[in-house]
Each structure stands twice: as C-alpha cells, then as structure tokens.
C-alpha cells in the first residue's frame, strides 16, 4: 500500500515538474552546466521525459512499463544532478549567498533518495520476502 501511495506522489511530482520544464524553461536554462549542447532542447525533452515517466509509473496493468519508467526516472534524476550542483555553485556565489546551504544541502541529499524511490516504486528493486504490490 505504501509503495502505491509513494508511486502516485512521485508521479505527481514528476508530472508537475515536466509541465513546468516545458511551460517555464528559463529558470532551468540558467542552471544548465556550461558545455551542454542545445540547452533549450535539453530542457524541453527533460520535461517530456518527466511527463512520460510519470505516466508510465502509474500504469496499473503493465509492470514492464512501470519498471521501465522507474529505471528511466532514476536515470533522469542521476543525469540532472550536475545541473543541481551547478545551481548550488551559482547560487551560493551570489553576493547575498542566494538560497543558502539550508536549501542546497538537503537538495543534494534528496537526489539519491529520489533515485532510490523511483527504483522502489517502479518495482525495479523489490524488497526481499515481500509480495509485490499492485
């Protein structure tokens, strides 16, 4: 039951993030690490990936699709981690200290949690000795 609830919460989070990436790309472009080619396209397609991953994550019938979405969202979270690190460095270098360590440090620790959560709710990493949840 808890896995299903967390699956829907993570899917809602990723769906909303995907819509924001597509509708309001400017903030994401400012934190893009230097050297990333075609940054506008990258932001657009990351939004599309988040939306598709969120839809795949909540598919009640297709466990292979749910697993693919779990792996995809976990890999996505890993791939955008450098942008989060870049955001922290840019923000903390501001004259006023930006959002501060109280914002950025928890965000850095949250990334591996989100990766693990995507794998767990996507049933990519089931707990041993427990029956899979629907």
Q: For residue 31, which of 73, 88, 75, 77 has the smallest C-alpha distance?
A: 88
Domain that holds residue 102: 2-121
User: What pTM was estimated for this model as a whole?
Assistant: 0.84
At 134 the pLDDT is 53
pLDDT of residue 6: 96
Q: How many domains does the chain have?
A: 1
pLDDT value, residue 132 = 54
Cα(44)–Cα(35) distance, rounded to whole angstroms? 17
Query: Which of 41, 40, 72, 42 lies closest to 54, judged by CA?
Result: 72
83 within a domain of the structure (yes/no)? yes
Residue 132 domain-assigned (yes or no): no
pLDDT tens column, 87-121: 899 989 989 988 889 999 998 999 999 999 999 99
Q: If you compute the radius of gyration of the chain from its CA atoms, what whole number of angstroms results? A: 16
Give the model's pLDDT for residue 63. Answer: 86
Flag whether 129 is in a domain: no
Q: What b/e sequence results for 102-114 when a residue is b if at least 16 CB atoms lie within 10 Å of its CB, and e otherwise? A: eebeeeeeeeeeb
Q: What is the pLDDT of residue 118?
A: 96
127, part of any domain: no
**What is the per-residue pLDDT for 127?**
56
- Domain-embedded: residue 134: no
Instruction: Note whether residue 133 is domain-resident.
Output: no
* pLDDT at residue 82 in the model: 86
Q: What is the pLDDT of residue 61?
A: 76
Q: Which residues of the chain have pLDDT under 70?
A: 126-134
Does the residue 31 lie in any domain? yes
Strands (DSSP E) contained in the chain are none
Q: What is the DSSP letter of 130?
A: S
Q: How far apart are CA 118 and CA 71, in angstroms?
A: 7
Q: What is the pLDDT of residue 126?
A: 58
Give the integer Cα–Cα distance in Å for 47 and 66: 18
């Amino acid at each position: 039951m808890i896995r299903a609830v967390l699956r829907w919460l993570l899917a809602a989070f990723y769906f909303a993030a995907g819509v924001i990436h597509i509708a309001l790309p400017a903030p994401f472009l400012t934190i893009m690490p230097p050297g990333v080619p075609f940054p506008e396209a990258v932001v657009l397609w990351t939004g599309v990936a988040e939306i598709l991953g969120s839809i795949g994550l909540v598919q009640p019938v297709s466990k292979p699709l749910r697993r693919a979405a779990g792996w995809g969202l976990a890999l996505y979270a890993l791939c955008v981690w450098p942008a989060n690190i870049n955001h922290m460095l840019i923000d903390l270098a501001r004259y006023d200290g930006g959002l501060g360590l109280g914002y950025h440090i928890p965000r850095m620790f949250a990334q591996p949690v989100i990766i693990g959560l995507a794998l767990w709710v996507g049933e990519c990493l089931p707990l041993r000795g427990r029956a899979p949840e629907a």
